[in-house]
Amino acid sequence: MKKILTLLSLAFAAMTATAQVYLDPNAPIEERVQDALSRMTTHEKIKILHAQSKFTSAGVPRLGIRQLNMDDGPHGVREELEWNTWSVARWTNDSIVAFPSLTCLTATWNRDLSALYGHSVSEEFAFRGKDIMLGPGVNIQRTPMNGRAFEYMGEDPFLAGEMVVPYIQSAQKNGVACCLKHFVLNDQEIDRFNVNVNVSERAMREIYLFPFKRAVDKAHVYTIMGSYNLWNGDHCCHNDALLNGILKKEWGWDGALVSDWGGTTNTMQAAYGGLDIEMGTYTDGKVKEAQHGYSAYYLADPFEKLINEGKIPMEVLDEKAARVLRTIFRTSMNPQKVIGFQCSEAHYDACRQIGEEGIVLLKNEKGMLPLDASRYKRILVVGENATRSLTQGGGSSELKTLYDVSPWEAFNSQLSTANCQLTLAQGYKSGRSVYDHVDKVDSSINDSLRSAALEAAKQADLIIFVGGFNKNHKQDCENGDRESYDLPFGQSALISALAKIQPNLIIVTFGGNPYAMPWLPQAKALLHCWYLGSEAGDALANILTGKVNPSGKLPVTFAKRLEDYPYAKFGQEAYPGITDVKVPANSAGEVPHRQVYYKEDIYVGYRGFDKDKVQPLFPFGFGLSYTTFAYGKPTATVQGDNIVLSVAVTNTGKVAGKEVVQIYASAPANKSLPKPQKELKGFGKTRLLAPGESETLTITIPRSDLASWNESTHQWQVDGGTYTLSVAASAADVRQKVNVNIP
């Protein structure tokens, strides 16, 4: 026994003599990565490259290397699922705060709130033991029909890029990796697994890649999720030109590329195409279960076999494993990772504040708002969304909340008085929140609800209609796009009928997309709320009553008609795509059966409305306030590689408020490289200004942000000459202009 103990002691001494650098949290990460790699077997390297459950990938228990725990975001931590199914685990301690949708965050135009959002939501992820938050998303809203647009950050790449950076920085400072998605061109849900996107090199760079590059360069995002769709014939989850060529080599990104769930299709492409962590293979990403074990994944046994046979070099495996280890040391084995909080008062405060600043006041006739409830004896609230939970449904963004404050609850708290009676009429019924089909609702039920609402309207002095979209399939939901530009469930007809009975009508809509408003002339006031999360009711009521002055601005253009959007004039080719038999097979022998062509090119959103001279219903960047603002004369100077613009903003109204100042650049003419009429290149938001108070905003525009992509040279190009900088309250409301000469 003594001899055995001596041998064990010697073995232990030999082991500890060789420093385990990878376990030293104070050692540089790259040293930890290389040390861990040197100790791992081939099989252990393979194991960390693919899922071991629905939302985890393996660590190396033998070496004390922890696994990665992932979960859906970015609006909150998803309800816990069973280890190996899509069924909920039915935990009793996984209820969380639902934060507002990313469209709502973007509508604040407030970088500080973006940082607060990232900090708050990542604390909830950390407390739940999660290492990777699957989000945020920055796909561009080129069509208002996109079912997942509510998860993204609008139509403008600069705005999306600027707003996503503070979110990522704050979250990752807490030791929770963001998984930026969906890289790239995942701009529709129709045939999302099989559609091949055809887009010009210039539009790809200037519009669709731009916010991702911003997140790589400025926020050093730790992980990125590939998208389901194809680009240039290859799936984006293992697209060599995209992932290795652009993301990793050209941009110098050192993070781990995670597949979307079910987005991996081929072992050789996965091996050489830039994929690092394979998740959800043989599923549809939400409902369909895998018929194979995790060892059958493309980057599992099939990949290991090719490595062992020498058909794929060990360097390919090591490069992937290094990226995954780097992520582990930044998150699950990061000693600075916060413990976090769940459902804290600070998180609810953040939720409410973001919601308040994201709500956009679109119409306010004759000062209808802020609402003085004491002026009315009977207020009728109509609409399913007054009581419906809008944190449920939507696919992977569905959340299990500790509590939600509905508009009806908040109205009863803030509007109901001894002199004012509130009543509720549902008006319409939409059915359950469903992911993969449309719930059928008996028409007789909606006829009855409509009749009841119209009858109640006869007794009302004021009507507040609370409608819009919900997160059902083919509304704002993963796996299905909208089928109509109109509001669903006959809401437009109901609104018009209500207005004929009682002209004192306030419209409140929720949803992630623009929509048609044939009833707009009949409405006295209109608020668009996106999705406001757990504090939805209080945020809305605070805006309605004037406790908070609205300061949100649209991150998308609201067109009068669907046909007005820039892509729409190109027909089915531009959206949702066509079957094109002339397309050759890719390297895996696949021929995508749907091809979509981005024929509007760089003229997405307001750029296209300007080009086509089409007047929108509400322009990009638009939003009203309960006060007014005056803009002083701006100054702009070139300081090194930057343009520095300063402008004074004065509150000229009677109540305190915040103003968003937008800077659009118009480039000198270039016949060989046509430019949009104007492009957003800077913005700032004032603090809360009291009546008569002024603030000077200083906005810096790097010279490189004025660049366009030259398809002849395949490089960014800044044209010299005189640029006009428009200081604006929206894309259609230019207050001041200043010229600056760029060498």
Return the residue matching tokens 């605070």.
542
Task: Please say whether the beta carbons of 225 and 55 come within 8 A.
Answer: no
Q: Catalytic one among 94, 131, 187, 260?
A: 260
- Taking a C-beta distance cutoff of 8 angstroms, is the pair 153, 108 a contact? no
Dihedrals φ, ψ of 742, to 5°?
A: -110, 120
Catalytic residue check, 260: yes
Say how far apart CA 355 and CA 99 lie, in whole Å: 8
Contact 203, 601 (CB under 8 A): yes
Q: Are 494 and 450 in contact (CB under 8 A)?
A: yes
CA distance 331 to 176: 6
Query: Is the Cα torsion angle 21, 23, 24, 25 positive or negative in sign?
Result: positive
What is the token pair recorded at 701? 């525009």
Report in angstroms the alpha-carbon separations of 719 from 246, 666, 709.
24, 11, 11
Is the bond preceding 184 in cis, omega lying within 30 degrees of 0? yes
Q: Could you say which DSSP state residue 248 is in?
A: I
Alpha-carbon distances of 633 from 648, 680, 688, 696, 697, rounded to whole Å = 7, 19, 21, 11, 12
What are the CA-CA distances from residue 487 to residues 123, 447, 448 (Å)? 36, 17, 19
Separation between Cα atoms, residue 44 and residue 62, nearest integer Å: 9
d(Cα 334, Cα 727) in Å, to the nearest integer? 44
Q: 109: which DSSP letter? A: T
Angle separating helix axes 111-127 and 157-173, nearest 10 degrees: 40
Alpha-carbon distance of 26 to 443, in angstroms, equals: 65
Neighbours of 15 (CB within 10 A): 9
Residue 112 has which token pair?
């500080």
The C-alpha atoms of residue 734 and residue 709 are separated, in whole angstroms, by: 27
Exposed, middle or buried, 129 (CB in 10 Å: 0-12/13-18/19+)?
Answer: exposed
Q: Which residues contact 294 (CB under 8 A, 6 or more apart)?
A: 50, 51, 52, 53, 300
CA distance 710 to 717: 6
Which amino acid, residue 579?
Answer: T
Q: Would you please indicate which residues are annotated as catalytic (active-site) residues?
A: 260
